[in-house]
Amino acid sequence: MLITGVRVCQLPTTNYQLPTTNYQLPTTNYQPTQRKYNPLVPDHVTSTLPPDLASLVDAWLEIERETDALVAPLDDEQFNWSPVAGVWSIGQCFDHLNTINVEYLRRIKKAVAAARDAGHVRGGPIAPTWFGRRFIASMEPPVRLKLRTPRRMRPAPRKLKAEVWPEFVRQHTHLRAFVSDECPGVDLNRAIFQNPFVPLIRMRAGTGLGVLAAHDRRHLWQAQALRQLEGFPRS
């Protein structure tokens, strides 16, 4: 069945539950930068890319700048610190992003290549459907709905910063290059891919790219909030 451009089948039943902890990140005065994905308004109007794609690239560049400012000064103890069992560390936030981004991008790339081969030439900007817009909005910080992460998407309990951080940078460099080099001439609204974690959902490639940017911001916000906690280990 096709609803507003997204083929949706009945989702399988799931036993996922919210983590069994009463811990919540305390309210602080810290306000991380809030950047909303807008496919129609680029940050740099001088970009040679179409405005919707320039907006995505600019969003990822800012995410990388904010992440570098957060992660670069940390040692491995700080990178892996958690205030209580069941709450992800900064390292786990970015390890999770690495898992999600590589799986999404692999499928988006195949969809874009198939659309190019089928002759689906770009005719306008990325246009998420109603469902797609809601999905992107649900990923944006601050987090409103907390769900237990499926097992295959969960980060490792502990990893060295040298394992996680360079991979995050590598993936984002590749992601920006893909959008800049391979997407401008293709209709991203007709390039359809299968959600890697909910196979019954099929999404537009343009929507998927918006989801990746919003999901990055979601966990960057989470990691920034951890850094501000009173118990966070200081250098």
What tens-digit pLDDT sequence spans the chain (235 residues)?
A: 333 343 433 333 434 333 334 444 444 343 434 444 343 333 443 358 999 999 999 999 999 999 999 999 999 999 999 999 989 999 999 999 999 999 999 999 999 999 999 999 999 999 999 999 999 998 999 877 676 676 777 888 899 999 999 999 999 999 999 999 999 999 999 999 998 887 888 999 999 999 999 999 999 999 999 999 999 998 7
Q: Which residues contact 138 (CB under 8 A, 6 or more apart)?
A: 144, 145
Structure confidence at residue 72 (pLDDT): 95
Structure confidence at residue 145 (pLDDT): 67
Whole-angstrom distance, CA of residue 229 vs CA of residue 54: 35
Q: Is the pTM of this model over 0.85?
A: no
Structure confidence at residue 32 (pLDDT): 39
Asked if residues 25 and 84 have their Cβ atoms less than 8 Å apart, the reply is no
Whole-angstrom distance, CA of residue 222 vs CA of residue 91: 11
| Residue 167, H or E segment | helix 161-182
Whole-angstrom distance, CA of residue 112 vs CA of residue 187: 8
Structure confidence at residue 36 (pLDDT): 41
Angle, alpha carbons 137-64-23 (nearest 5°): 60
Q: Which domains, ranges and CATH numbers included, belong to the chain?
A: 36-227 (1.20.120.450)
Structure confidence at residue 122 (pLDDT): 96
